[in-house]
Amino acid sequence: MRRNPVVPAWAALAATPVLLLSLRSQTPSVPPATAYVVQGTVQAVEPSTRSLTIITGVGFALQLTRIRTVPETQITSNQVTVALSDINVGDIVRADCRIMDSVLVADRIEKLTAVGAAQETQP
């Protein structure tokens, strides 16, 4: 008499928790950071807290967005590295950011010229 090669249902059910635990251990525990792009006019620069506030929005829907910088933040103007203190109120900037500890942190800030900002917004 031959045995049936089909696995009994109880064996499959018994193995399910083990398989789920092994899959769970393979998935990353921290989700990848979501990237945000913020573009607008600088409303305030605060060197003491290494942050700046940007006015963003469309039409009548304006919003103030506060962005923090870290020592690794790359700040450029006309493809030249500049300091945070070189950004002034009224400048137009684009910042590539991520959320870290519930705070918007900039990885890169680019100070745009008026012509560059107009070109960026056109499709």
Per-residue pLDDT at 74 exceeds 60: yes
pTM, two decimals, is 0.66
- pLDDT attached to residue 59: 80
Q: Give the mean pLDDT of 37-49.
A: 94
Domains and CATH numbers, the chain: 35-121 (2.40.50.320)
- pLDDT attached to residue 101: 87
Per-residue pLDDT at 4 exceeds 90: no
Between these two residues, 18 and 69, which has the higher pLDDT value? 69
Q: Name residues whose C-beta falls within 8 Å of residue 1's C-beta, 6 or more positions apart in sequence.
A: none
